Structure formats: C-alpha cells, structure tokens
Amino acid sequence: MVENINADICVIGAGSGGLSVAAGASQMGANVVLVERDLMGGDCLNFGCVPSKALLAAAHRAQDIREADMFGIRSADPAIDMQAVHDHVRSVIDGIAPHDSVERFEGLGVRVVQAPGRFLSGHEIAAGDFRIQAKYFVIATGSSAMVPPIPGLKDTPYFTNETIFNVTERIDHLLVVGGGPIGAELAQAHRRLGAKVTLIEMDRFMGKDDPEAADIVRRKLISEGVSIHEKTSVVGSSQNGDIIQLSISRDGQTQSLEGSHLLIAAGRKANVESLDLDRANVKFSPRGINVDERLRTSNKHIYAIGDVTGGYQFTHMAGYDAGIVIRNILFKLPAKVSHNAVPWVSYTDPELAQVGLTEQQAIQKLGSGKVTILRWSYGENDRARAEKATDGFAKVLTDPKGRILGATIVGKQAGELISLWTLAIQQKMKIGAMAGLIIPYPTLSEVSKRAAGSYYTPKLFSERMRKIVRFLLKF
C-alpha cells in the first residue's frame, strides 16, 4: 500500500544541511518530512569530517611519540594497533550519531522516511512506499567520491573516503590518487600510522590553496616520508596478486608504482543521478544543481543546498545554506548567499586555513600595485617557539584603504585562528581594528595581530615620523 504524505517542506538528504533545515523549520512550526536513502548524518558524520579528524588525532599522537625527544622526553617508535585505531574512529562517530538520529528528529516533530527519493513532478516525490507532496522541497543530497576513468581501475580494488575508515589491519604501502585536502590529510595520517605512502597529483599539490602555504605542508609530508608526484597523471591500474600497480606519466615519461592498497581521492561529484530532476523541471549539470543567489532552482519552490549545488563543498557551507533557505521559505525574506568570507581548512600538520581572496586572486582583481601583503612568521611567535611549532606564517591582504581582502594561515591551529579573519572580512573591518586588538600572551593568536600591525610599520618607523617625534618632544 502506498501512503500519501502532505507537508510544508520536504527535505531530501539527511546530511548537515538537510538536518539543519529539517530541525530548524520543524521547531519553528513547519510540517517537515525528511527523506534519507542511507545513513543519517550523511557524508560528514559517517565518511568525512568526523572519521577523518578522529583518524588524524590518532596519527598526531603517534607522531608526538616519535618527536618527543625535542622536549627532553625519550622518543620511541609507537606500536600501532589498527583495530584499536578503527575502534577509536568508530566510537567518535557513534558518540555523535544520536544527535543526528531518526529518533531525535522524530522527537523534534520531523517525519523521517528512510528510502531513496525521486521526483514524480514539481510537487511530488516517491520514496519507498510513500508519495510525498509538499509546498517546498529542499534538495540536500550532498556529494560523493568522484572516480576518474583510469584504464583498469574497475578491475582494481580501491578505497574512497566511504571505505577507507573500515580498515582494521596495518596498510603496508598506500597509493593515494589526488593531492587535495582529502588526499593530503589521509596520506599524512596513514604515514604517521606506519604505512609507506605515495601520493600522485595531476596538477599542483593542494592546488586551490596559496602556493607558498601549500609548500609548507608539502615539505612537512615529504620530511615524514610521503613520496609526492605532482603534475603526474595515472594512466593505468592493475592488480597482480596482493600488489596494486599504477602506471603514471609525467612530461611524456611513464613509470610504474606498486603498493598494497589504493585510495582514490580525486575530487567529488554531486549526488543528482537518481533524483529524476527532469520531471521536476530542475536544471542541473555534471557540476551540480543550478541555483540562484537565494538557492532556488529553476523550479522556484524547489531549493538546493550544500555540495549538490557544486559550490563550496564544506559542511559549514551546507549549514550556512540551510539558514538562507529557512529565511526564504519560512519568513519570505529574500535572503541571498554571500561567498565573500568563506573559510576552509586542510587539517594536515601543519594546518592550512584560508578565508577571502588568496594573494593571486587579490592581485588579479585589483592589480599588483594595489594589494598590500602583510605577513608574520610562526618563528617570531613565542608560543610557537615554546611548542616547537615554528613552521608557518599568517599572510593578510588589504586594499589601498586598509580593507581586509583575505587571509591565509599555515601553521599549528590555523583552523582555529582563521575565524578571527572570517569575522573581520564578513563585517568589512579595516586592518586597524585587528591591529588594535588586545591579544593574550603568549598565544598563537598574536601571529594575526602582528601581521595586522605590520601594516603601519613603514609609516611609524619612517624618517618623517622620527622628525615629527623629535619636534614634539621639544615641548
């Protein structure tokens, strides 16, 4: 028997963005149905942010043991129990899962349907034994690992982020295809957990980030034993017994790499294939669903948020999008997205964080003569010295009037430090506001203040200023 459901809002996808819309709208009085084909919590909880950070935490502890001698403590080669590491990762997921569970959302008044959803028309979807009609739909189906068309890959066993966290035995040699944040993080994590690691990137390592900052991370990974091949294409894949073989090509030269396991981390693709969007007159492309500034699709009572739109693929952006949609649907406010202050972080060691324009983007937009580049090194920070974490810097960009255009931080806790600059850019602050902050000593936050303060150094310590001071001191 097919059951018909009528709702104010039907949310398709129970990842970060979908859950935020469903919880917020329901608690504010809307009748909400939430449709999820797989696991509650989506990619972030089950296959992405949460397990990767839990794995990295274990890997960082192992590295602390190896490097303890720099603090006068005897270092050692840590004994890695991959089953126990797996159990740690699983326990973190399990600890968060109740917050995203069916039971919790039903307790909030949300009707949860656990089945794949597909559009029958612009106002109705089918999901399992249900037909759901709604005034508004919110598509929040996220993204999944993109598997490149490498010859032979279909017949070669490989991991993606959806399967790599199921490993319970030690990996001997991990081949990583893809040098973006996911590839970099997991390459370093597995190297620190005892595996030999080779990373292959067809373009530049961490190519979306500031090249100077990415180079700090690259050199760190190499120093730890990760072999990195940049500007290199994978042109073939095969399995020979327990050995994975990759054929790689650079500058017309081909060579073979061998490893015990293979991880594909070569990008993401929007999850649109099973939604039957054509039936709802929703336009999309291979990149994702087309949306306007209010996150409306070509069918104006259907919205799309998060990764499925092909924009910034971050959990925090899906949450931000959810707020825009709620204001549009519930309060009829023409809220629009703004991408001027979107932060992102790669959780390698050292971390690499960015918000606003990169140096290259700022110069392209304003011209090289109109961008002031401010910087401060971790090596000049007393807290970083105390913690032997002096690799890194803060780089801040301003226009001729001192308006902050962007910030890049590479170094310890960069992901925490970038929030200050996110606020500054979002609130359209000038550099003086940051330079005038009282920052507790000794903290890594002083890196940001010192970078901001360097804006005034040329004027404060100029010959003209010395003359003015000498004159005033006569009185």
Check if the beta carbon of residue 242 is closer than 8 Å to that of residue 424.
no
Sign of the dihedral defined by the CA atoms of residues 284, 287, 289, 293, in that order: negative
Nearest to 266 by CA among 218, 200, 350, 352: 200
User: Mind giving me the DSSP string for 309-376?
Assistant: GTS---HHHHHHHHHHHHHHHHH--------TT--EEE-SSSEEEEEE--HHHHHHHH-GGG-EEEEE
d(CA 78, CA 66): 7
d(CA 70, CA 278): 61
Check if the beta carbon of residue 281 is closer than 8 Å to that of residue 288.
no
Q: Is 181 a known ligand-binding residue?
A: yes
Q: How many CA atoms lie within 13 A of 451 on its CB side?
A: 29
Q: Is 453 a known ligand-binding residue?
A: no
Q: Is 53 a known ligand-binding residue?
A: yes
Q: Is 178 a known ligand-binding residue?
A: yes
What are the structure tokens assigned to 219, written together? 């050199």
Q: Is 227 a known ligand-binding residue?
A: no
Q: Is 183 a known ligand-binding residue?
A: yes
Q: Is 185 a known ligand-binding residue?
A: yes
Check if the beta carbon of residue 297 is closer than 8 Å to that of residue 325.
no
Which run of H or E residues covers position 188? helix 181-192
- For the chain, what is the radius of gyration of the CA atoms? 25
Nearest to 61 by CA among 220, 227, 198, 194: 194
Token pair 């760190």: residue: 220
Q: Is 141 a known ligand-binding residue?
A: yes
Q: Which residues contact 104 (CB under 8 A, 6 or more apart)?
A: 98
Q: Is 307 a known ligand-binding residue?
A: yes
Residues tagged in the binding site annotation for FAD: 53, 117, 141-143, 307
Binding-site residue numbers for NAD(+) are 178-185, 201, 267
Provide the annotated binding site. 53, 117, 141-143, 178-185, 201, 267, 307
